[in-house]
Amino acid sequence: MAASTALAGGSSLSTYARNSDSDGGAHFGALHCLKGLDMRLPIAAAALVAAAFPAPPVEAHPAEAAQGECANALATLDGDFPTGAYASCEATGDKRFKLVIAPEDEGRINCSAWYAFRLTPARKGRVTIDLDYATCGHRYWPKISTDGVTWDYLKAKNVTVEGERNERTASIKVKLGDGPVFIAGQEIVPPSVYDAWLDGLAAHADAERRLLGKSAEGRDIPVMTIAGEGTQRETVLLVGRQHPPEVSGALAMFPFVETLLGDSDLARRYRARFQTLVVPILNPDGVVRGHWRHNTGGVDLNRDWGPFTQPETKLMDGLMKEVATDPGRRLRLMLDFHSTNHDVFYTIPDELPTEPELFTRRWLDRYQELMPDYEVNREARHDVGRPVSKAHVYDTYGIPGVTFELGDETDRELIRRIGEQAAIAMMETLLDSPEP
């Protein structure tokens, strides 16, 4: 069953997803994951071009240096591709491997235990991979792809998870055919996917892509401006992939942004009044390296809003100040796309005044109306000075900040619907708000 449809494994997998812990060489073609998202923008040609170009060269870090590859009589296992990650590999038998999965550094880490590896068969057969964790334990249900385009959930009969919470281990059984297969904690969405997607969006008359700046390792961090003709005085900011493994948030951001660029009367009216700035991948270094949480500076970027010590977060500070210091423009809203173990919006409490007034409550009420068969979950909290995106934009600019979280294993077709309907509700609610 493709990852874009209902989860394989039935209730056992659903139970696993609910119980998961939360705050968890050759290059892939840029079409992987996008096929499952039923992209309607003209990105296919751009994706194929982007796939031909490897990620920029980088210096090896300790985890990569130790990672290597290993082989037995059945297959060779490696992680030599963007997002490939594990700490060490050992062939423990002719048909068995053991991987140790460990975070990128010894700093304080969230338990988003990412893994991704490739199996290249020497002959057909079934191989078992044991996943052992240096810390935190198993979180992500394994996905499999033979082409990097279509991702399936491994069937429950081929996955054994043992232990509780931070002691979880997993064993995976894979049937090998003639060609390589990729196994990962989530669908793999590296920078090449974003490049292809943004190039497709840029064909729209109301969209313009530019370089916001560079990551610590010199990778591009792009920004897309969405706006209709004329002058827009109000700006909405969208940001994604601060945390590398949080792919389900990215899968919601794609249709959310596409809906803003739709041909509906609502979308055209929204673009006439509002400018939207989209920074879809803020931590490309961490994504390419398969980090659990941090950038290459060992910092959780969503704990650096305010201090702005890292190259990536400094870019966001500069982008917001560019808007805020222009007397003809005003920041109105910031949405930050993430993943956790369930769908939830982390918001500013309604008791705190925002501009637009009570936007979050009105937006999520309208969103619930558009999704009558789905329960919208909201958790409201604000800690003054906490260096996360939603708190910083409220403390500094007085605007609503929302962390838009999708469940790790939320049905992929539902994620698309969530992205579309949340965008529609946002546009309606903003257009109903008084102009500044």
CATH code assigned at 401:
3.40.630.10
Do 125 and 241 share a domain, yes or no?
no
Query: What is the extent of the structural domain holding 275?
Result: 191-432
Per-residue pLDDT, 26: 30
Residue-wise over 152-176: b if at least 16 C-beta within 10 A, else e?
bbbebebbebeeeeeebebbbbbeb
Regions in the chain scoring below 50 on pLDDT: 1-66
Does residue 309 share a domain with residue 249?
yes
What is the reported pLDDT for 107?
85
Q: What is the pLDDT of residue 149?
A: 81
Q: Give the burial class of 60: count Cβ atoms within 10 A of its Cβ; 0-12 exposed, 13-18 middle, 19 or more buried.
A: exposed
Indicate the number of domains in the chain: 2
State the Cα–Cα distance between residues 399 and 185, nearest whole angstrom. 35
pLDDT for 145 equals: 97
d(CA 27, CA 152): 19
- Mark whether 363 and 388 lie in a shared domain: yes
Q: With respect to residue 3, please indicate whether it lies within any of the assigned structural domains.
A: no
Is residue 4, in this structure, part of any structural domain at all? no
Residue 57 lies in a domain: yes
* Same domain? 180 vs 203: no
Q: pLDDT value at position 348?
A: 98
Reported as a single tens digit per residue, the pLDDT across 207-256 is 999 999 999 999 999 999 999 999 999 999 999 999 999 999 999 999 99
Last residue of a domain, one of 152, 184, 216: 184
This prediction's pTM = 0.89
Specify if 1 maps to a domain. Answer: no
* 199 and 167 belong to one structural domain: no
The Cα 429–Cα 163 span in angstroms is 46
pLDDT of residue 57: 34
The per-residue pLDDT for range 356-366, each reduced to its tens digit, is 999 999 999 99
Tokens, residue 357? 């007034």
